[in-house]
Amino acid sequence: MKNGTQDSTDRAVPLPFRRILVTGGHGFLGHHIVPRLRAACSGEILTPGRADYDLLEPGAADRLLRDTTPDCVVHLAAKSGGILDNRLRPADYFYENLTINTAVLHAAWRAGVKKLLTLMGGCSYPAAAVSPIGEDQMWQGYPQAESAGYSVAKKMLLVQSAAYRAQHGFNSLVLIPGNVYGEWDNFNLTQAHVIPALIRRFSEAREAAAPEVVCFGSGQPTRDFVYAGDIARLIPWFLARYDSSAPVNLSTGTRIRIRELAETIRGLTGYAGRIEWDAAQPDGQMDKIFDVTRLRGLGLACPTSLADGLRRTIAWFDDVRVTGDVRL
């Protein structure tokens, strides 16, 4: 029992599929999700990469489905990045995500796949959404302008899933993780989201004995972060037991101010210098917390505390910088 909610993912959820195809299986979330699928499914778990099938090429998605003949698809392949890269390349984020998502879902239906699960970002909610943000607010406005190319493209997954279910009876579902962090994240400072960016900045400043670290924005926005390992633990449950195109938020529903987050990461990385805030950089939405009532109503939760998840991520980052197995 966690926070009054029985976490159903603590019990094994066997998956009945013969072959699960995971697109993007070598990416950030793929590193967390694929081991969970292997543990839950006695069938094959296939994880071809972009070198095998470039999903931006016409016909590549159909060829992938023909070659692999899965009865289940977990679609994780995406172009993803932080607010700075979204501002620099909004057209790339829009085109690549819309093209890949549309092609993969259509090809999966054509190939007779029994079930498809995919993820979209919480940034697709309207910029003016009121926290805690429930799934019913998705269509009540336009997303934050800085990442709208990515956000609107991902939002189309909800339309496509519902449309193919209504016309073809295709069983697909779209889950909405909160602000995800964890091992195997992208720590490139142009492309990174806030947690990997802060971990890298403070770790490098500690090593260089720098007197200060400059953080972007005012530090006043609040966010709701969720550990990637918790997302991964939920995926087998949804594959086994959820049959709806109605989206579900996957997060903790816990609020933290970015200024407090920076102070926490500074302490966990062992950096002793000061923090300066560059208010000329964008804050993004000022308050974005996810309503997890629907998730809890299914008997599920994302239980890892932010402090525990940050410790794991920082320890991993310190280790893999030595071997070079990290995106910088």
Domains annotated for the chain, with CATH where assigned, are 8-323 (3.40.50.720)
Q: Which amino acid is at 74?
A: V
Q: Over the stretch 144-153, which tens digit does the pLDDT of each residue have?
A: 998 999 999 9
pTM for this model (two decimals): 0.93
Q: Can you point out the beta strands (E) in the chain?
A: 19-23, 44-46, 72-75, 115-119, 172-177, 179-181, 212-216, 222-223, 225-227, 248-250, 256-257, 274-278, 287-288
The catalytic position among 53, 93, 150, 164 is 150
Q: Is the pLDDT of residue 165 over 80?
A: yes
Residue 74, burial from CB neighbour count under 10 angstroms (0-12, 13-18, 19+): buried
3 pLDDT band, cuts 50/70/90, is very low
The DSSP letter of residue 133 is B
Give catalytic status of residue 142 as yes or no.
no
Q: Is the pLDDT of residue 325 over 80?
A: no
